[in-house]
Amino acid sequence: MSQEFELRVYYEDTDLAGIVYYANYLKFIERARSEWVRGLGVDQIRLKAQEGIVFAVRRVEADYLGPAKFDDLLRVVTQVEAVTPARLILWQEVLRGAQPLFVARVTIVALGRGGKPTRLPAEFRRKLA
């Protein structure tokens, strides 16, 4: 199961050299993950209000493969690598056309009320099956 998310590089995303500032790739993949979860039909606001559960990034392993530049049209591909009761591991790529510019393996966990780790919601795991 994968999803694609398109975005344009704006001037504010770049550094003095006109290339995307390295930390902004993390923002790009975060936006893509948020849209991916929304696309699954999961309302994160309702999940927090009713069950006290929020998703949090536990780990990111990233590689920068090439620079994106001002006005580039980028595509973020998000794919599920693994799902356990306690965590979700995603593979995300930022591409310009067919060229990968940034790749990351992201581990997501659920936090309950008080910020304590909890199991991923059963409804969410079912949607990933």
For domain 2-128, the CATH class is alpha beta
From 13, 15, 71, 72, active-site residue: 15
Residue 99 C-alpha from the chain's centroid:
19
What pLDDT does 129 receive? 79
Residue 115 C-alpha from the chain's centroid:
20
pTM of the model: 0.92
pLDDT band, very low/low/confident/very high, at 128 (cuts 50, 70, 90): confident
Which amino acid is it at 90?
A: L
Average pLDDT (9-16) is 96
Average pLDDT (18-36) is 96
Better-scored residue on pLDDT, 99 or 126: 99
Q: Determine contact, residues 47/53, Cβ cutoff 8 Å.
A: yes
71 catalytically annotated: no
Helix (H), strand (E) at residue 123: helix 122-128
Residue extents of the structural domains in the chain: 2-128
With CA atoms as reference, report the closest residue to 83 among 29, 32, 127, 26: 127
Question: Taking 90 as the threshold, does the pLDDT of residue 70 lie above it?
Answer: yes
Share of the chain above pLDDT 90, in %: 89
